[in-house]
Amino acid sequence: MNWQGLLSIGVFYIIVLGIGIWASRKSKIEERKCNVRHSEITIVGGRNLNICVSIFTMTATWVGGGYILGTAGLVYDPTKGLLWAVGPLAFSLNMLIGGTFFITPMRSKNYVTLMDPFQEKYGNTIAAVLFIPALLADLFWVASVLGALGATVSVAMDISFTLSVTISSAVAIIYTVLGGLYSVAYTDVIQLMFMIFGLWFCVPFVLTSTYFNNITESAVKRVYQEPWIGQIKLEDAGCWLDDLMLLAIGGICYQAFYQRVLSAASDAQAKLTCFVGAVLCPILGIPSVLVGAVAASTDWNQTSFGERSPYEQGMAGFILPIALKHLCPFFVSVVGMGALAAAVMSSVDSALLSAASQIARNLVLIDLLSDLFQASERSIVVVIRVSIVLCGLLGTLLAITSTSVVLLWIVSADVLYSVMTPQVFCTLFLSRWVNHYGACSGFVLGLLLRGLVGEPLLGLPSVLPLPWDKTLEDGQIQHVVPFRAAIVIITFATNLLVSQISMRKSAKGFLRTTEARIELKDIKCAEQFEPELEED
């Protein structure tokens, strides 16, 4: 056990937990000051979050452990390179798109969660079904970043994987339960400051290492491996575009995004939060790019790592902690590990609160609570806190026991993008043109198409052939066309087409839409009370 490393990480966790507890007290003060529901203070901070805090929490949520580790790993990977590290560009585009188009329709009706417009449009049952991909995405998000943190700490600090995952999860669960969005937002501030300071503090030590060649030369010329700048062949352009769209547009399907923009005091403040975050995300990715470039330019045979390079040992995804450990002094690697832990914690707490908020507010459980407790605010907050604990425990269990959590998260994010993106667009912008028949048809067809296309990471064969498919040496099929974007377009068209057909059938009396049922219910209620009104 590396007691010095464990003590350093422990000090960081104590600081974060202390800030979370302080923020929970601020949440209670705001609860007494604001004339809003208690549950809204927990979920969206009473809609009066400070602008600086909003910017910090938005940026920290997106610049998580996967972003930092993944960017460095892709730059270092000799089969990919910098051009394939689409995270900085995609996250910036995600915030620009979200800030420009999605803030106004969500804030204009004072929604609290992303599922609110679905529940309002289609009812509880269909909204609960559409919520399943979002819930799985949040759970696997928690599990994957906790697993990445555990593996990173075990690589760099020789600390037990299970111990690091358990402690990190416990700290995040405690302060998220105590203070809701206030605790998450204010801890994000200190976590982002740790990230900025820690990562940039390590960069000069990495760049002054004696084991690597000039990174400008290795960017375009083979030195120890292929140039780290990478290349995008014409036949790979579709895959690159698909990855970019997955991250750039798929982010609008996450409750974590809307929780931050809905917590702002005004539309202008919410848009400013997104636009500033769009600038900060690429800037915070620069240290990861530099570390990946140095790692690609390093003669690893001369370091204490071993004879074979990290890529040859299948550890390209953990190149950042490996570089910190073997190219920097010990105290520098400790600071870098604190930055990584901060990045992971800022994503874990956001995903926990995101999943718990929608479980408490939008699932059928609230209908049960309405009957038992008359939907009191206290009961909803209790459900939120219990859901945070349950989601945290489940995510921790997945991180500890599963060896393919990252792959499951990728697939769940893939399904969320392919299936939910058309639903979000239609519900927010084309609400008059769609109904529950179209929503269900698009949902089922999107899942079916995504399953038929296959997923090599999970061993799912490609049953549906696509144009220009390539067969690799190992027999797997590589899709050249951007199939995820194609599924989104097909699902979107299906939603509109089936909705319009069902509306026409409903007008002729063959079908009854959700709106027709609501109208019929209102008519029956009016007929029921009409005799009493006539007597009066």
Residue 502 vs residue 519, higher pLDDT:
502
- Give yes or no: residues 453 and 426 share one domain: no
Alpha carbon distance 259, 475 (integer Å): 44
Half-sphere exposure of 433 (CA within 13 A, CB side): 12
Question: What is the predicted pLDDT for the residue at 519?
Answer: 47
Average of per-residue pLDDT across 69-90: 91
- Give yes or no: residues 408 and 438 share one domain: no
- Give yes or no: residues 176 and 224 share one domain: yes
Boundary-marking domain end, from 383, 398, 431: 431
Question: What is the predicted pLDDT for the residue at 404?
Answer: 55
534 found inside a domain: no
535 found inside a domain: no
- Give yes or no: residues 448 and 426 share one domain: no
- The three-state secondary structure class of 393 is helix
* Tokens standing for residue 31: 């609860």
Alpha carbon distance 483, 232 (integer Å): 18
Question: What is the predicted pLDDT for the residue at 474?
Answer: 65
Q: Which pLDDT band, with edges at 50, 70 and 90, does 44 fall under?
A: confident
42 found inside a domain: yes
Distances (CA, A) of 120 to 98, 257, 427, 435, 489: 21, 20, 10, 11, 24
- The three-state secondary structure class of 49 is strand
For residues 417, 423, 425 and 426, what is the CA-based torsion angle, rounded to 10 degrees?
160
Check pLDDT > 60 for residue 372. Answer: no
Amino acid of residue 1: M
536 found inside a domain: no
Q: Which pLDDT band, with edges at 50, 70 and 90, does 166 fall under?
A: confident
Share of the chain above pLDDT 70, in %: 86
Boundary-marking domain end, from 368, 398, 431: 431
- Give yes or no: residues 309 and 442 share one domain: no
Question: What is the predicted pLDDT for the residue at 525?
Answer: 43
89 found inside a domain: yes
Question: What is the predicted pLDDT for the residue at 351?
Answer: 87
Average of per-residue pLDDT across 341-347: 78
Task: Choose the most confident range, by mean pLDDT, from 21-30, 106-115, 212-221.
Answer: 106-115
- The three-state secondary structure class of 1 is coil
198 found inside a domain: yes
Boundary-marking domain end, from 412, 431, 450: 431
Cβ contact 227:221 at 8 Å = yes
- Give yes or no: residues 496 and 361 share one domain: no
Amino acid of residue 153: V
Q: Which pLDDT band, with edges at 50, 70 and 90, does 105 fall under?
A: very high
Alpha carbon distance 172, 184 (integer Å): 9
DSSP bridge partners of 347: none
Cβ contact 68:340 at 8 Å = yes
Half-sphere exposure of 441 (CA within 13 A, CB side): 17
412-440 residue pLDDT tens: 778 789 889 999 999 999 999 999 999 99
Alpha carbon distance 453, 435 (integer Å): 27
237 found inside a domain: yes
Check pLDDT > 90 for residue 156. Answer: no
Amino acid of residue 113: T
275-332 residue pLDDT tens: 999 999 999 999 999 999 999 999 888 888 877 888 888 888 888 888 888 888 888 8
- Give yes or no: residues 114 and 221 share one domain: yes
The DSSP-derived string for 295-339 is: HHTB-GGGSSS-SS-TTTTT-GGGHHHHHHHHHS-HHHHHHHHHH
Check pLDDT > 70 for residue 402. Answer: no
Alpha carbon distance 168, 235 (integer Å): 42
What residue numbers bound the domain in which 24 lies?
3-431
Question: What is the predicted pLDDT for the residue at 199?
Answer: 87
Average of per-residue pLDDT across 473-497: 87
Average of per-residue pLDDT across 402-411: 62
- Give yes or no: residues 163 and 28 share one domain: yes
160 found inside a domain: yes
φ, ψ of residue 212 in degrees (nearest 5): -120, 160
Averaged pLDDT of the chain: 83
Alpha carbon distance 77, 401 (integer Å): 27
Question: What is the predicted pLDDT for the residue at 523?
Answer: 45
Question: What is the predicted pLDDT for the residue at 429?
Answer: 94
Q: Which pLDDT band, with edges at 50, 70 and 90, does 406 fall under?
A: low
Cβ contact 185:45 at 8 Å = yes
Residue 65's CATH number: 1.20.1730.10
- Give yes or no: residues 71 and 59 share one domain: yes
CA-nearest of 100, 339, 316 to 228 is 316
- Give yes or no: residues 206 and 117 share one domain: yes
Number of domains in the chain: 2
Question: What is the predicted pLDDT for the residue at 520?
Answer: 46
Q: Which pLDDT band, with edges at 50, 70 and 90, does 31 fall under?
A: low
65-74 residue pLDDT tens: 778 888 999 9
Alpha carbon distance 4, 8 (integer Å): 6
- Give yes or no: residues 278 and 373 share one domain: yes
Check pLDDT > 50 for residue 524. Answer: no
The DSSP-derived string for 412-480 is: HHHHIIIIIHHHHHHHHH-GGG--HHHHHHHHHHHHHHHHHH-BGGGTB---S--TT-EE-TTS-EE--
Cβ burial of 379 (10 Å; 0-12, 13-18, 19+) is middle
Cβ contact 47:262 at 8 Å = yes
Q: Backbone dihedral region of 265: left (phi > 0), alpha (psi from -120 to 50 degrees) or beta? A: alpha
- Give yes or no: residues 313 and 452 share one domain: no
- The three-state secondary structure class of 460 is strand
Cβ contact 73:290 at 8 Å = no
